[in-house]
Structure 1
Amino acid sequence: MIMKKIIFLFLLLNSTAFFAQDHFSGISTSKRIGVLNGTINPAELANLTSKVEVHVFALSTTVANNKIGFSDLTGDTNLEELIFVGSEPANLRLDVEILGPSAAFRYKNWGFAVSSKAYGKLNLVDIDVNIGDAISNGGLNSLLNSTTLNGNYNQRLNGTTYGELGFSAGRNLWETENYKLNGGATIKLLFPGSYANFGADQMNGTITTVAGSSYLSNTNATLNIAYSGNLGNSFSDFDSYSDSVFGGLNGIGVDFGANFSIKDSDPDKGYKFNSGLSVRNIGSMTFKDDNNSSTNYALVIQGNESLDLGQFDGVDSLQEVEQILIDSGFLTSTSSNSDFKVKLPTVLNAYADVRLIPTLYVSLFWQQKLNDDNLNDQVTTQNTFTVTPRFSLKNFEVFSPWTQNEISGFNGGIGFRAGGFFVGSGSVITTLINDSKHADFYFGFRFGIGKS
Structure 2
Amino acid sequence: MVFAGLTCTAQEQYTGIGLSNRVGVLNAQFNPAELHNQSNKFDIHLIGFNARVSNNKLGVDDIINNDNLENILFRGTDPVNLSANVQAMGLGMSVKFKRWTLGISSTLHGNLDIIDVDPRLGDAFVNAGINALLGGSATVSNNYNQRVNGTTWGELGATVAFSLVNKAKHKLNVGITGKLLFPGSYANLGMDRFTGTISRVGGIALLTNTQASVNIAYSGTLANSFTQFDNYRESAFGGLNGVGADIGINYQWRDTPPENPKKNQNRYKLNLGLALRNLGAMTFNENNNQSTNYTLSIQGTQSLNLNQFENVESLREIETILLNSGYLTRTNGTRDFRVQLPTTLALYGDIKVIPKLFVSAYLLQRLNNVAVNDQIAAQNTFIVTPHVDLGFFEIFVPFTQNEISGFNTGLAFRAGGFFVGSSSGITALMTNAKQADFYMGWRIGIF
- Do they superpose with TM above 0.5? yes
Alignment partners' CA distance in 1, 2:63 and 2:181: 37
Q: How much does 1:77 deviate?
A: 7.8
Equivalent position to 2:202, from 211, 218, 221:
211
Inter-partner Cα distance in structure 2 for 1:301 and 1:389:
56
- Matched to 2:291, the amino acid is S
C-alpha offsets along residues 362-398 of structure 1, whole Å, 9 cap, x if unaligned?
A: 1111100001111101111111000111111111011
* Residue from 145, 161, 170 that aligns with 1:154: 145
Q: For 1:338 and 1:398, how far apart are their aligned partners in 2?
A: 50
Matched, 1:297 2:294: yes
Q: Are 1:324 and 2:321 counterparts?
A: yes
Matches within 5 A, 1:395-410: 395-410=392-407
Task: Give 1:96's aligned amino acid.
Answer: V
Matches within 5 A, 1:160-239: 160-239=151-230
Report the counterpart of residue 119 of structure 2 in structure 1: 129
| Aligned equivalents of 1:370, 1:311: Cα separation in 2 | 38
1:46 alignment counterpart: 36
Q: CA deviation at 1:75?
A: 3.6
8 Å Cα contact 1:188-1:253 kept in structure 2: yes
Aligned-partner residue type, residue 277 of structure 2 = R
How many Å apart are 1:78 and its aligned residue? Answer: 4.1
Instruction: Give the CA deviation at 1:171.
Output: 0.6
On the 8 A contact 1:45/1:110 being kept in 2, the answer is no
Choose the corresponding residue for 1:437, options 427, 434, 439: 434
Aligned-residue RMSD, C-alpha: 1.3
Amino acid at match of 2:140: L
Q: Report what 1:348 is aligned to.
A: 345
- Indicate yes or no: 2:361 matched with 1:364: yes
Q: How does 1:31-110 map to 2 (within 5 A)?
A: 31-75=21-65, 78-110=68-100
* One of 17, 22, 42 as aligned partner of 1:27: 17
Task: Return the TM-score normalized by structure 1.
Answer: 0.95
SS of match in other structure, 2:157: strand
Indicate conservation of the 8 Å contact 2:177/2:247, yes or no.
yes
Q: Is the 8 A contact 2:155 2:179 kept in 1?
A: yes
> For 1:238 and 1:78, how far apart are their aligned partners in 2?
19
**CA shift for structure 1 position 76:** 5.2
Matched residues, number:
440
User: What is the Cα deviation at residue 156 of structure 1?
Assistant: 0.6
Shift of 1:356: 1.1
Flag the 1:39–1:77 CA change in 2: closer, same or farther, 3 A. Answer: closer
Instruction: Give yes or no for contact 2:9–2:229 (8 Å, CA) kept in 1.
Output: no
- Is contact 1:61–1:442 with CA below 8 Å preserved after alignment? yes
Matches within 5 A, 1:360-439: 360-439=357-436
Q: Tell me which moved more, 71-80 or 216-225.
A: 71-80
Please report how far the alpha carbon of residue 143 of structure 1 lies from its aligned counterpart in structure 2 after TM superposition: 5.1
Q: CA deviation at 1:9?
A: 3.3
Structure 1 counterpart of 2:243: 252
Q: Is the 8 A contact 2:133 2:200 kept in 1?
A: no
Flag the 1:143–1:221 CA change in 2: closer, same or farther, 3 A. closer
CA distance, structure 2, for counterparts of residue 352 and residue 190 of structure 1: 30
Aligned partners of 2:34, 2:65: CA distance in 1, in Å?
Answer: 46
Query: Structure 1 76/190 Cα, relative in aligned 2: closer, same or farther at 3 Å?
Result: closer
Native 8 Å contact 1:397 1:417 kept in 2: yes
Aligned to 1:274: 271
Q: Distance in 2 between matches of 1:128 and 1:403?
A: 26
Q: Which amino acid aligns with 1:254?
A: A
Partner of 1:336: 333
Aligned letter for 1:66?
A: N
Q: Aligned pair in 2 of structure 1 residues 77, 42: CA closer, same or farther (>3 Å)?
A: closer
Provide the identity percentage. 50
Unaligned runs of 5+ in 2: none
1:279 and 1:237 map into 2 onto residues whose CA distance is 32
Q: TM-score, normalised by structure 2?
A: 0.96
**Could you list the per-position Cα deviations for residues 384-443 of structure 1 after superposition, in whole angstroms to 9, with x for gaps in the alignment?**
000111111111011111100000000000010011000001101001111100001000
CA distance in 1, matches of 2:167, 2:386: 28
Question: Which amino acid in 1 is paired with 2:2?
Answer: I
